[in-house]
Amino acid sequence: MAATRDLYALLGVTRDASEADIRTAYRRLARELHPDVNGDPAAETRFKEIAGAYEILSDPEKRARYDAYGDGGGQPFADIGDIFDMFFGQGGFGGFGSRRRGPRTRTRRGEDAGVHVQLSFEEAAFGVRREVEFERLSVCERCMGNGAEPGTAPIACRTCGGTGEVQSVRRSVFGTLMTTAPCGACRGTGQEIPDPCAACAGEGRVRGAATVTVEIPAGVADGMELRVAGNGHAGVAGGAAGDLFVRLGVEGSDSFDRRGQNVYTVLDISITQAALGADVRVAGLDGAEVFKVEPGTASGTVVKLRGKGVPNLNRRGRGDLFVTLHVVTPRELSREERSLLERLAEIRGEPRKGAAEGHLRRPEF
């Protein structure tokens, strides 16, 4: 019968390793293989193996017993589950084999976390990378999330027998009703922790500051939420982590009004530019934009600059920039300017005194 792998080899230490060496090796491997950081199913199995090996080799009595009867001396074993059967009872440690009768650990997904990020008008338009800081529950490094002081292990809950659930029976007009609810003693985990971890008080999670890099795409708007998967609070008993939701606030602009992906602005032009036509410059989102004002342009005319608005969110293309032209009437005139305007009025037959004949037209809305 083939012997199983050496427990010392599982942890990567020699047989004469000290307790400190074994503890260090276990913590290093546990950080690498813990389900919260390694999604490979094979890694989860390996994590359970090294946890079981550590439980044996960190206990002087169990280690001495293993050295006497384990791999390389005394009784051979068919698989690693047989070793764990020897030390933890039939069914092994951590779920090896189908004969397990120990506590059935119930994992629980971690809670979602939220954070608010304020953006400038330009950052929302073109996107930005932000480092966001918030408080998060993370897996306790001392106990690697199981809540037990190193060198000890959780046991089956004595209230629910390790099922994580309790049943109650009550009588009603409809007969006898049986209900099932999460166990209040173990909070549905199926485990009790006789020796809670000193760092997390048995919770398996500790609260601390976290920093996450968030890629904010171009074209976001005020009030939107971004979901960053797996960056929320750590799960319970090896459960998946929650998500981080980033709520966006966008500051207004002194120059632009945004409606969807289109942007609107107003540009002042002179009466001579409006009358004679001109090439004018407007400060757009991408910098200066030059366009032509046609001769005889009226105040309130709207010019559309295609593709100069805000980029479309998560797809190609951009909105447009709409420029409303406002013809500015000069308030202070030099003697020469006044003389030229009076001469223009005379040429156009536009008297400054008396009743001037006007032309009425129906307004357009």
Q: Are residues 237 and 280 in the same domain?
A: no
Given 250, 283, 315, the domain boundary residue is: 250
Q: Is residue 281 in some structural domain? A: yes
Type of residue at 18:
S
Which of residues 195 and 167 earns the better pLDDT score?
Answer: 195
CA distance 241 to 222: 27
Q: Are residues 140 and 84 located together in one domain of the fold?
A: no
Q: Name the band, by pLDDT with cuts 50, 70 and 90, for residue 71.
A: very low
Q: What is the pLDDT of residue 169?
A: 75
Question: Which phi and psi angles does 249 have, rounded to 5°?
Answer: -115, 135
Give the CATH number for residue 303.
Answer: 2.60.260.20
In a domain, 291, yes or no: yes
Residue 97: the pLDDT is 42
The answer on 24 and 136 residing in a single domain is no
- Alpha-carbon span 32 to 40, nearest angstrom: 11
* DSSP label of 110: P
pLDDT-above-70 percentage for the chain: 81
- 264 and 296 inside one domain: yes
| C-alpha pair distances (Å), 337 with each of 271, 298, 300 | 12, 21, 25
Mean pLDDT of the chain: 83
Q: In this predicted structure, which of 61-65, 67-71, 95-99, 303-307 has the lowest mean pLDDT?
A: 95-99
Predicted confidence at residue 211, as pLDDT, reads 95
pLDDT tens profile 339-349:
998 898 888 88
Element of type H or E holding 41? helix 41-57
Same domain, 232 and 273: no
Q: Are residues 15 and 74 in the same domain?
A: yes
- CATH number, position 68: 1.10.287.110
Structural domain boundaries, residue 290: 257-347
**Are the beta carbons of 327 and 271 closer than 8 angstroms?**
yes
Sign of the Cα pseudo-torsion (90, 96, 98, 103, in order)? positive
Q: What is the pLDDT of residues 298-315, one digit of tens each?
A: 999 999 999 999 999 988
- Shared domain for 217 and 321, answered yes or no, is no
What's the mean pLDDT in 283-307? 94
177 inside domain? no
241 in the same domain as 129: yes
Greater confidence (100 vs 266) lies with: 266
* pLDDT of 354 above 80: no
pLDDT at 207: 95
pLDDT at 103: 45
pLDDT, residue 176, reads 66
